[in-house]
Amino acid sequence: MWQRLGSTFLHWLQNLLHELQYGELVWLLSPTQHMTLLANRRAAMIISRVRLWATLFAILTPLWIVVDLLVFKWPMWGILAGSRLLASLAFAVLALTIKRDGHMRHAYLALVLLFAIPTAFFIFTYPMVAPFRLQGIASSVALGYTFLPFLVLAGLGIFPLTMLEGVVFSLPALVGTWMATVWLCDCADQYNLLGMYWLLILIAGVATISGMSQLGFTIALVRQAVRDVLTNAFTRASGAELLDIQYILAVRNGAPLTVAFVDLDNFKQINDQHGHEAGDQALRQASEQIRAHARMGDMLVRWGGEEFLLVFPNTDIASARLALDRLRQAGLGLRPNGEPLTASIGLAERLMDGQEDWQGLIALADRRMYEAKRTGKDRVVYTGEGLMARPQPA
């Protein structure tokens, strides 16, 4: 059995390493380095699954009252029934009121409440049920209360969690089990308790690995969804989401936000004269050069065709111009005939240009890019009429 488990774990690890890039492996350990898009997607997944499970438990929990009625006498079954109704109500409230805005703090709160409800139910009911020495089917019913912590811990495996989160969310179930079996009840012998805790720890470990596996494949799917396959820049959809987030942060902090609209010059000629494969190569070169010379925190988005957006968070127009100067002097690569690949660039900044949303900021940068095209290409336009002169080669 252990060999089979080891083989399964190694197979899972190999698949995971194959799917993930090296830097993303750190994301499996702790959520502190997760990018915003991943955090939002993960929060939405967690909240969706919490709502599903809370709804399911709200429906199923009261159904066990019939079994308690057949096994236990009054007032025991009445207390248990009341506890089940309260737990069912709590699950229903959780399913109906949880916020679905994609924030991790709400996802964490939802997870805490989802696992706190059955843990509290176990702490309250187990000390009442455990002292009874029941036989036959009644014994099986009482044993079901004992297995509740195992169900709670196993449930962690359906959520995309990091290793740190798996450990943290396992602790309340382990502590709650200790409270119910030792502190409040003291009705099980120590050997049974040791075996129970050992099994709980194993289940917590397996559930944590399962959650990490889900997170790993979520990371891979998010990467494929947010990155353009050809250029490795952000896709237009993910770029729009990033811009929305960055604009909100800029407004909240009163900070500048600059956007450069980059359009490769005479790109259609590359496709027409040298084929689309040469065009793809030119796009890859340009993307690599832009990302290689962009500053940490700047974001490159493939907006469409040969058009890119370069987003400069917390950057005024002067600093963005200097960054673009360095980029243009380094070059965007070469055309198939060996000539330099150039671009027309329009630049717009939130505060200086008085734009009230990121869509207006992009529209203004787009208009200035067309002005750069009209006035000779291979240049940057950053005001209504002003032009940044073409830098001379170093």
pLDDT tens, residue by residue, 290-306: 998 888 889 999 999 99
pLDDT tens, residue by residue, 170-196: 998 888 888 877 765 655 555 567 778
Q: Identify whether residues 216 and 240 lie together within a single domain.
A: no
* Three-point CA angle 11, 15, 17, nearest 5°: 115
d(CA 178, CA 126): 11
Residue 43 lies in a domain: yes
Mean pLDDT, range 301-322, rounded to an integer: 94
pLDDT at position 387, please? Answer: 41
Provide the residue range defining the domain that includes 21: 2-226
Bridge partners, 381 (sequence order): 346, 387
Q: Cβ atoms within 10 A of the Cβ of 267, count?
A: 19
Q: Quick check: helix, strand or coil at residue 381?
A: strand
pLDDT tens, residue by residue, 26-47: 888 889 878 777 888 899 999 9
d(CA 111, CA 113): 5
pLDDT tens, residue by residue, 232-254: 899 998 899 889 989 998 999 99
Q: Identify whether residues 255 and 219 lie together within a single domain.
A: no
Q: In the chain, how many domains are there?
A: 2
Residue 231 lies in a domain: no
Identity of the residue numbered 43: A
Q: Name the pairing type of β-strands 307-313 and 299-304.
A: antiparallel
Q: What is the CATH number of the domain that holds 315?
A: 3.30.70.270
Which of 226, 249, 283 lies at the terminal end of a domain, its last residue? Answer: 226
Q: Identify whether residues 138 and 267 lie together within a single domain.
A: no
Give the 3-state secondary structure percentages of the chain, helix then strand then coil, rounded to 5. Answer: 70, 10, 20
Residue 393 lies in a domain: no
Bridge partners, 223 (sequence order): none
